Amino acid sequence: MEAVNLGEPTNRPDKAQTNSSVGSRRAIMTGATEMLWANQLVSSGLREFAINYDRLSDVWVNSPRPDWMLELLKSNCNRTHDYRFNVGLERYVDSLREMTACHYGEPSAYVEHYFTYRPGLTSIEDDVRSGRISILEGERRRSIWLSMVAHEATRYVFEDEVARFEFNRTAEKIMAELVGNEPIADDTYERDFKRDVLDKQANLLKAAISNPFTD
């Protein structure tokens, strides 16, 4: 699954700085970040962000975007076959569901399917128990499935939060026009709101999964 696009990237170096210094920065990268830079399946935004750090552990800690962190985790699992973080992905999806529940209470069936991972895990567990696949293959499939659900849940929560924000801004503009006030035209608030949502999601992921790249 390709990384979802969640609004404008944040904390990226400006384009002029990147073009002028990318060569020197690449020259001092560690093998780990060089590996990430060379991985063409990783989004360009993540690669440009990661090049500012010597260690992937620092990329994880400082990442302002949950989709980048999920990409990092997926890339690491594919490279090392380390699937210890599957339970953490479950916790992250559950925390996103709780974030949505603040608006809906118990989500409807339409909303709930974005956070539903148990049926897929049950099917994989049945295959392991029957001997159709090995335990290691089962963990690999769990990782793939949970990564897919986490990406979709992340995207849904982000888009839902932004839609609510845009609705409220439109309502505010209408009310301002009705009472004769000048509506606020500055879009800085929307950019800040999107960054805030991404930051909340990134913090939920960091809480659910301890840094996978610590020594």
Is the four-CA dihedral 125, 88, 40, 43 of positive or negative sign? positive
Phi/psi region, residue 11 (left: phi>0; alpha: psi -120 to 50; beta: rest), is left
What predicted TM-score, i.e. pTM, was given to this entire model?
A: 0.79
Per-residue pLDDT of the chain (215 residues; tens, 9 = 90+): 344 444 444 444 444 444 444 444 444 455 556 666 666 677 888 888 888 888 889 999 999 999 999 999 998 888 888 999 999 999 999 999 988 877 766 667 778 889 999 999 999 999 999 999 999 999 999 999 999 999 999 999 999 999 988 887 777 777 777 776 665 556 667 888 999 999 999 999 999 999 998 86
Q: Are 100 and 201 in contact (CB under 8 A)?
A: no
